[in-house]
Amino acid sequence: MSLRYPLLFCLAAVSAFAMSPPHMWNKLILTHHWPNTFCSVEACHHPNITYWTLHGLWPNKGILCNASWHFNTSEIQDLLPDMDKSWPDLLKPASSGFWKYEWSKHGTCAAKAPALNSQHKYFSKALELYHKVDLNSILRKFDIIPSEKYYKFSQLEAVIENFYGVTPKIQCVHPSKNGDVQVLAQIEICFSPDFSLLDCEKEISSSPYSVCDEDAPVYYPPL
């Protein structure tokens, strides 16, 4: 039986995308981060979360596209229970500051597309894609679990490539000068404007993470 899951992502395409202007983004990056690694880098209070959480849904072009379009939690009240669980602020759990930041930096740019042109559309679509990808369950299904043992990068990448049929971008915190183990931190799954799966580009990285070294062991830290 094939490990690929093509029917999972057969979402309706939005015809307006076909006429998008040249400056319009052409890829969405669904970014997950591993809370244990994030909190080791950012020194946040450990949230005791044992699953991959949503970092954001990022267009590949544009940031801070509309400074006048302010974040308003009243527009996503029905989404807040899921937001609190799936898209938590790991630094300030009781705050909506993380969502405000993601909307201002990325959501206002994603909103150039009709399917994402409101706060509710943007956040609900991010949550929808996050749940459909279900990264945490897929890794566990193929025995990639937080552990004191080390994984080969090829193991991690192969599970995702074989299941989703696309290349992910897997990022790590790289070892110190005398270290030899990198720490799994962030995984990106990419989509086209009609929300079909796409290969991710590996060369672009966001500090403090960078694309994992294919030849170094990978540590997937447990709580």
Q: Tokens 């960078």 sit at which residue?
A: 210
One of 2.20.25.90, 3.40.50.300, 2.170.120.12, 3.90.730.10 is the CATH number of 25-219, namely 3.90.730.10
Q: What is the pLDDT of residues 107-141, one digit of tens each?
A: 999 999 999 999 999 999 999 999 999 999 999 99
Give me the pLDDT at residue 6, please: 41
State pTM to two decimals.
Answer: 0.87
3-state SS record for the chain:
CCCCCHHHHCCCCCHHHHHCCCCCCCCEEEEEECHHHHHHHHCCCCCCCCCCEEEEEEECCCCCCCCCCCCCHHHHHHHHHHHHHHCCCCCCCCCCHHHHHHHHHHHHHHCCCHHHCCHHHHHHHHHHHHHHHCHHHHHHHCCCCCCCCEECHHHHHHHHHHHHCCCCEEEEECCCCCCCCEEEEEEEEEECCCCCEECCCCCCCCCCCEECCCCCCEECCCC
Q: What is the pLDDT of residues 11-39, one digit of tens each?
A: 333 333 333 444 689 999 999 999 999 99
Q: Annotated catalytic sites, by residue?
A: 55, 102, 106
Residue by residue, pLDDT tens for the chain (223 residues) are 334 444 344 433 333 333 344 468 999 999 999 999 999 888 787 668 999 999 999 999 999 999 999 999 999 999 999 999 999 999 988 889 999 999 999 999 999 999 999 999 999 999 999 999 999 999 999 999 999 999 999 999 999 999 999 999 999 998 865 567 899 999 999 999 999 999 998 875 556 799 999 999 999 999 8
Beta bridge partners of 58: 29
